[in-house]
A and B are shown apart, each in its own frame.
Chain A
Amino acid sequence: MSDVFSFEDYGQLLGLVHNSLIAAVLLGVVGGLVGVFVQMRDMQFAVHGISELSFAGAAAALLLGVNVAVGSVLGSLVAGSLIGVLGVRARDRNSVIGVLMPFGLGLGVLFLALYEGRAANKFGLLTGQVVSVDTVQLGWLSGVSAVVLIGLAVIWRPLTFVSADPEVAAARGLPAGLLSVAFTLLLALAVSLAVQVVGALLVLSLLVTPAAAAFRVTASPVLAPLLSAAFAVTSAVGGILVALGTSVPISPFVTTISFAIYLVCRLLSGRRTRRGWESRHADPVDNSSHMALS
């Protein structure tokens, strides 16, 4: 184990991953907030599907020698548009994703096979390469994060309404289809960020797990996104900090931290449901003596 963990030159290393830490914070905030709607709209499978096409885009960019971030964003947006337009209804959506995902993964594998550069670059797209974030990439990540955060802020409330209460939202004139497409595109951008940091295979750990954990411990529409973002930032930053002292890639640490947070939240929620709302005093109507009327 001593070969794996070594924190001797930690201070120096920390200076080297400065960019990566900023990227992790950005990704944590974006992933945690987007995850809230992934959870509310049951789009976990879409996250996985988009990440495979994002991987294909990034692999194509690697092969062509252009910016990997651009390739990843383009791949994500293609996937997001297809899913958003073809799969407005949940069942259509899942079959569209099921069809797209293996195709994207296959393309990605093809591009990587044709690529003749460093093997670490190839592996990084699937399992994470955050340590290698350079200033150009960080610029891209920040720009994309800003777009997602602003977009989310604009549609936050209508999207909540449409996701939680579709009938009444439609009666109020909210365009469910447009909101769904808009959110899928924002989700695609968030996925492309995550692919570059934790890799295509582990995107779920930052876009699904933190929000799922937050939903376990709160039903407040303000607290849930804040907790979700905090959990995601903790996982991403924590993963990098631990990985620095090891020879192992960061992704196992990110996924383990985010899973641990989820487990703790589940345990807490078990106690909350047992002692909290389920044992609250009964509905007054149930206690009243209207029995004579029936």
Chain B
Amino acid sequence: MTSSTGPTAPLTTRGAAVAFGDRVLWSGLELDLAPGEFLAVLGPNGAGKSTFLRAVLGEQALSAGQMSVVGRPPGRGNRSIGYVPQQKALDGATPLRARDLVALGIDGDRFGLRRRRREDRQRVDEALRAVGATAYADAPIGLLSGGEQQRVRIAQALVGDPALLLCDEPLLSLDLRHQRAVSSMIDRRRREHDTAVVFVTHEINPVLDLVDRVLYIAGGRHRLGTPAEVLTSESLSDLYRTPVDVFSVRGRIVVVGTPDHPVEAGRRHDHSHHLERPVAAVHR
């Protein structure tokens, strides 16, 4: 187990790029993620946010540059990474309880039959307690609500004591209270255990207070910096190459005038705190 407080940087990239043929998603990415740092990855749908996670996981090869993930080149099966995938309802027929899904985070990749050690079972209990899921630890995962499943997924990602936590839209389809619960859970983890967090989201507002830096990807380019540096009218206008206005309204950030994105057209937009789409649509 790699110690999360060790000297190895959780994530380092040098001139990293991903392109599909002529279409460059991002390039020249220089990132040094510090232990315990909270990085939000923002941008319109299809910009390459999830591809960034896939590159860190070793599921997507870089087309240029280097990347180092907890001291190793990106490769499948890095046990120092905890991963919360984009939410997809777990099958109701699956014969697994919440605690079993979490336990797979410890030994799901081991071949052969072996009794779980008591310390592993204790770690599962602790992980469930840390996300407030003890009450439904023995419930079939298929019967849990979206918010409950998401807590269990975070417990699964954290039970292996990762140095780097990757979350792909972990707040999607959660109501505001669950959004707060889940993001503060992740925040507590990185403060107490120095786990670096890469948090892909299309809504910055639920995590705006927690984020150290923002990686904003759009149109094949990116901006990296603190929210105050990146989320400004000037910076985003430059990134989108079109006039974009960024307002701060009662602690929330509202971005107006981003180019409409066809992929986003079908998306539900009943939340008032979306980063770009609803307000942009009104002003188009």
Binding site for B on A (CB under 8 A): 36, 39-40, 153-158, 160-161, 163-165, 167-174, 214-215, 218-221, 224, 273, 277-278, 280-281, 283-286, 288, 290-291, 293-294
Q: List 22 A-B contacts (CB under 8 A).
A: A153-B112, A156-B113, A157-B110, A157-B112, A160-B104, A169-B108, A169-B109, A170-B59, A171-B59, A171-B81, A172-B108, A174-B108, A219-B141, A219-B142, A220-B97, A221-B95, A277-B140, A280-B136, A283-B145, A284-B132, A285-B132, A285-B177
Q: Please, which residues of chain A bring their CB within 8 A of the CB of B75?
A: 173
Closest chain A residue to B174, Cβ basis: A285
Q: Is B110's CB under 8 angstroms from A164's CB?
A: no
Closest chain A residue to B178, Cβ basis: A285
Stretch at the interface among B84-92, B190-198, B218-226, B257-265: B84-92
Q: Please, which residues of chain B bring their CB within 8 A of the CB of A156?
A: 113
**How many angstroms from the CA of A171 to the CA of B110 in the assembled complex?**
14
Which one of B76, B85, B95 contacts A215 once the chains associate, using CB atoms below 8 Å?
B95
Looking at B135, B141, B177, the one whose CB has the most chain A CB atoms below 10 A away is: B177
**How many angstroms from the CA of A256 to the CA of B118 in the assembled complex?**
42
Which one of B81, B85, B91, B108 contacts A167 once the chains associate, using CB atoms below 8 Å?
B85
Q: Is A171's CB under 8 angstroms from B136's CB?
A: no
Q: Is B112's CB under 8 angstroms from A154's CB?
A: yes
Is B143 in the interface zone, CB < 8 Å from A? yes
Q: Is A167's CB under 8 angstroms from B156's CB?
A: no
Q: Is A167's CB under 8 angstroms from B177's CB?
A: no
Q: Please, which residues of chain A bring their CB within 8 A of the CB of B148?
A: 283
Is B210 in the interface zone, CB < 8 Å from A? no
CB distance from A16 to the nearest CB of B (A): 37
Closest chain B residue to A223, Cβ basis: B95
Is B83 in the interface zone, CB < 8 Å from A? yes
Looking at B93, B95, B97, B136, the one whose CB has the most chain A CB atoms below 10 A away is: B95
CB distance from A66 to the nearest CB of B (A): 35
Q: Is A221's CB under 8 angstroms from B100's CB?
A: yes
Q: Please, which residues of chain A bring their CB within 8 A of the CB of B170?
A: none
Q: Is A158's CB under 8 angstroms from B97's CB?
A: no
Looking at A163, A170, A172, A273, the one whose CB has the most chain B CB atoms below 10 A away is: A172
**How many angstroms from the CA of A153 to the CA of B177 in the assembled complex?**
43
Assess A157 versus B108: contact at CB under 8 Å? Given A167-B88, A168-B156, A286-B177: yes
**How many angstroms from the CA of A167 to the CA of B109 in the assembled complex?**
13
Within B207-256, the residues touching A (CB, 8 Å) are none
Assess A173 versus B108: contact at CB under 8 Å? Given A285-B147, A288-B177: no
What 10 pairs across the A-B complex have the smallest Cβ distances? A173-B77, A219-B140, A173-B76, A161-B108, A167-B85, A224-B95, A171-B83, A172-B109, A294-B176, A290-B177
**How many angstroms from the CA of A165 to the CA of B86 in the assembled complex?**
12
Is B120 in the interface zone, CB < 8 Å from A? no
Q: Please, which residues of chain A bring their CB within 8 A of the CB of B166?
A: 171
Q: Please, which residues of chain A bring their CB within 8 A of the CB of B81?
A: 171
Q: Is A170's CB under 8 angstroms from B109's CB?
A: no
Q: Is B112's CB under 8 angstroms from A164's CB?
A: no
Within B122-145, the residues touching A (CB, 8 Å) are 132, 135-136, 139-143, 145
Q: Is B143's CB under 8 angstroms from A278's CB?
A: yes
Q: Is B178's CB under 8 angstroms from A164's CB?
A: no
Q: Is B109's CB under 8 angstroms from A174's CB?
A: yes
**How many angstroms from the CA of A153 to the CA of B78 in the assembled complex?**
24
Q: Please, which residues of chain A bring their CB within 8 A of the CB of B113?
A: 153, 156-157
CB distance from B260 to the nearest CB of A (A): 28
Q: Please, which residues of chain B bring their CB within 8 A of the CB of A171?
A: 57, 59, 76, 81, 83, 85, 166
Is B43 in the interface zone, CB < 8 Å from A? no
